[in-house]
Structure 1
């Protein structure tokens, strides 16, 4: 019984990994086509906050204003940039100092 459950669980995990790899490959290919047509990247305005470590495991936050950040128009991070959909939902960026 335990062997049967482990075998089914292994197949489910293998299928999920394969599906994720396929989704990433398709997303990368679509992003490369968009990039070749000049539409693979965009910019999003984010609010930057600098975090400074203090004594006693305390932190101090300093707002640095807004900045335009380059992002990839894809589901996954591509070309070293975060996806635009992620940055549009997380507009506060913490910069560690």
Structure 2
């Protein structure tokens, strides 16, 4: 079985270069779950803020997942980043900064 990187080589699919990417970052917590929302999101059941441990564990997991996927995207431009699924403003500015860095 061939590695996925074999299929992502420029020119393999008759592409002059690999297409740019859009990145979606899922942050699944909300103050209240809207009845129409079908995103995988969950209400924060505290004072309206994420517990520091929950936030840091989630951000660490997202960054680990991204680092594992980096070999698939080297050389490609990220032209847009979408952050959502829940309420991104529940995350601290430092957490969002670490994601975007």
TM-score (norm. length: structure 1): 0.29
Higher strand content, 1 or 2 = 1
Query: Bigger relative contact order, structure 1 or 2, given CA contacts below 8 A and separation 6+?
Result: 2
TM-score (norm. length: structure 2): 0.28
Higher helix content, 1 or 2 = 1
